[in-house]
């Protein structure tokens, strides 16, 4: 039942006896008194607590056995929202907004607790009215998935959709995306759509729109402004830069990773500064060197997922490499130690992989710096075995690029050449 969703046992009986339901505004007295909206609970919750959404936007769990008094303050009437029409402004540029899921462009239904896409133009205008002042937004939902559920086939569908817009009148394209795997999607689009004639910005939110500390609105507004005013092309990730409420930055899609589980400033450019700063309606180019080679648009949308990412560690069982070979994989990206090393216990399996014709690439598990396999004897041994150093490419980016390169070439030598070609600033010169 949605009116008691997630409640069972003791907490369900308590709510039924108290004649309050999910979505009701109630006052609860225990040692302290709380007023808020009764929220649903997730399916595996215990039956000892109820959850209130406070006016501050935060949730509080209250143990049923300690509640002295509960009062119904108000009950929401179930009415269907009818979004008001918005007028387009012919003087403003057009921006396409695509949703793949996540919470950034969604709304919370306090009656059910569900998060639903708010992505038609009218709903967006109501939720974030600033958008209508800077662009005419065309909005479309591609997927409604948590980003950990997005797979390489989703990347390809996004790329195919974007490819149809390469000759459109849009000034830029914004993709709302869950943050957990946003760097993978950004990397694939960077390679598959190299030379795309208008900017593409992926944007996410670390904190949902119902929380006072939410970064959703500012990130989305900044992303739309960036694709209109940034005077650039390429694929970028737009997120908060620090814990302040005003500075948002634009990261290159192949040089960014999520470095923190929950901070608004979770995303960092690895090995350099963010590409652009977005502050007080101003967009400032931040990288001192030219970061994109000027290329004609030549989409290559295929990919092949038969690529393994192997993080070497002491005690790694080389039989796992043998299993990868036997399973039909065509490439291995090693995340080695230091300058690009793996232990000598791996050597026989590496030789077997090379003999079977797999592409073998080396990255480093260090956060910063570049692979340099000629410094130590062990690195030189690995070079002799056919492992290809991948400069300062981020391991996740190297994985995605290898999937893309494998899908768009016909031989290991051809794949190697593509892996070493700088396509979208994935490594430094």
- Catalytic-labelled residue, pool 47, 138, 163, 180: 180
Under a CB-based contact definition with an 8 Å cutoff, are residues 345 and 311 in contact?
A: no
- Per the listing, tokens 């005013």 go with 229
- Catalytic-labelled residue, pool 21, 53, 171, 258: 258
- Listed in sequence order, the residues at least 6 apart from 370 whose beta carbon sits closer than 8 Å to its beta carbon are 364, 391, 392, 427, 428
For residue 329, what are its two tokens? 């994989």
Reference 224, options 140, 146, 132; nearest CA is 132
Clarify whether 185 is annotated catalytic. Answer: no
- Catalytic-labelled residue, pool 100, 179, 185, 269: 179
- DSSP single-letter state for residue 40: P
For residue 3, what are its two tokens? 């009116």
Q: How far apart are CA 140 and CA 15, in angstroms?
A: 39
- Catalytic-labelled residue, pool 103, 176, 232, 269: 103
Under a CB-based contact definition with an 8 Å cutoff, are residues 94 and 170 in contact?
A: yes
Reference 269, options 230, 311, 236, 309; nearest CA is 236
Give percent helix, percent strand, percent coil of the chain, each to the nearest 5: 25, 25, 50
Identify the H or E element spanning 250.
strand 248-252
Clarify whether 180 is annotated catalytic. Answer: yes
- What are the phi and psi torsion angles at 256 (to 5°)? -125, 150
- Annotated catalytic residues are 103, 179-180, 258
């Amino acid at each position: 039942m949605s009116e008691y969703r997630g409640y069972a046992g003791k907490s369900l009986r308590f709510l039924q006896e108290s004649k309050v339901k999910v979505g009701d505004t109630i006052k609860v007295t225990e040692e302290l008194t709380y007023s808020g909206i009764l929220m649903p609970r997730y399916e595996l919750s215990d039956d000892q607590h109820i959850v209130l959404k406070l006016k501050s936007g935060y949730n509080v769990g209250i143990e049923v056995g300690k509640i002295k008094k509960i009062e119904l303050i108000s009950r929401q009437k179930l009415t269907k929202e009818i979004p008001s029409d918005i007028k387009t402004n012919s003087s403003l540029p057009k921006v396409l907004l695509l949703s793949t899921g996540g919470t950034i462009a969604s709304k919370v239904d306090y009656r059910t607790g569900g998060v639903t896409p708010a992505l038609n133009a009218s709903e967006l205008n109501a939720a974030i009215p600033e958008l209508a002042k800077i662009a005419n937004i065309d909005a479309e939902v591609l997927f409604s998935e948590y980003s950990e559920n997005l797979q390489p086939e989703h990347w390809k569908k996004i790329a195919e959709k974007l490819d149809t817009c390469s000759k459109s009148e849009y000034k830029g394209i914004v993709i709302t995306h869950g943050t957990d795997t946003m760097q993978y999607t950004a990397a694939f689009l960077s390679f598959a759509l190299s030379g795309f004639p208008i900017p593409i910005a992926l944007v996410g939110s670390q904190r949902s729109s119902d929380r006072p500390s939410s970064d959703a609105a500012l990130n989305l507004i900044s992303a739309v402004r960036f694709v209109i005013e940034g005077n650039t092309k390429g694929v970028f990730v737009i997120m908060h830069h620090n814990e302040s409420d005003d500075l948002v930055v634009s990261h290159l899609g192949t040089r960014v990773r999520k470095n923190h589980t929950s901070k608004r400033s979770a995303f960092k450019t690895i090995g350099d500064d963010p590409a652009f700063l977005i502050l007080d309606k101003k967009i400032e180019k931040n990288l001192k060197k030219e970061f994109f080679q000027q290329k004609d648009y030549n989409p290559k949308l295929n990919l092949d997922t038969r690529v393994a990412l192997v993080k070497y560690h002491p005690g790694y069982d080389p039989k796992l490499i043998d299993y990868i070979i036997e399973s039909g994989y065509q490439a291995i990206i090693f995340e080695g130690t230091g300058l690009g090393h793996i232990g000598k216990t791996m050597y026989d399996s590496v030789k077997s992989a090379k003999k079977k014709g797999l592409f073998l690439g080396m990255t480093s598990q260090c956060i910063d710096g570049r692979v340099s396999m000629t410094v130590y004897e062990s690195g030189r041994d690995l070079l002799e075995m056919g492992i290809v150093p991948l400069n300062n490419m981020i391991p996740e980016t190297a994985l995605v690029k290898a999937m893309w390169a494998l899908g768009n070439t016909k031989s290991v030598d051809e794949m190697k050449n593509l892996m070493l070609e700088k396509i979208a600033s994935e490594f430094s010169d």
